[in-house]
Amino acid sequence: EVQLVESGGGLVNPGGSLRLSCAASGFTFTDAWMSWVRQAPGKGLEWVGRIKTKTDGGTTDYAAPVKGRFTVSRDDSKNTLYLQMNSLKTEDTAVYYCSTLNGVPLNDYWGPGTLVTVSS
């Protein structure tokens, strides 16, 4: 059974940092480009960032609102995806999902999400 399980969410002050994790199982993690997608309360979906496989260079891309503040990384030995979030703003408050998000005939998996609240 495929599982993606996010953790690390919580309440943080503006300007603070948080690291999210996403533990993957049930599929070949090392072969998957992985993304983080967020959803502010009552709002739509927003792609945050993505990391390619090591085979494809392991490079990362980010959405403009988080570029320079967020970092996506992966540890293939632990089948885990990470999102390091620095200089957090109130507008970063959202449920953060990890996903194998893609546009091609590859399976598309999503975790249940973890809530990040940025507030003083």
Partner 1 sequence: DVVMTQSPLSLPVTLGQPASISCRSSQSLVYSDGNIYLNWFQQRPGQSPRRLIYMVSNRDSGVPDRFSGSGSGTDFTLKISRVEAEDVGVYYCMEATHWPPYTFGQGTKLEIK
| 92 SS3 class | helix
State which of residues 53, 62, 84, 117 lies at the interface with partner 1 (CB under 8 A): 62
**For residue 45, what are its two tokens?**
């979906």
Sheet holding 45-51: strands in order across?
Answer: 10-12, 114-118, 94-99, 34-39, 45-51, 60-62
The site map against partner 1 for 31-60 (x = CB under 8 A) is ----x-x------xxxx--x----------
With respect to partner 1, which residue has the nearer C-beta, 27 or 47?
A: 47
**For residue 28, what are its two tokens?**
């070949």
Note the residues at the interface with partner 1 (CB under 8 A). 35, 37, 44-47, 50, 61-64, 97, 99, 101-105, 107-108, 110-113
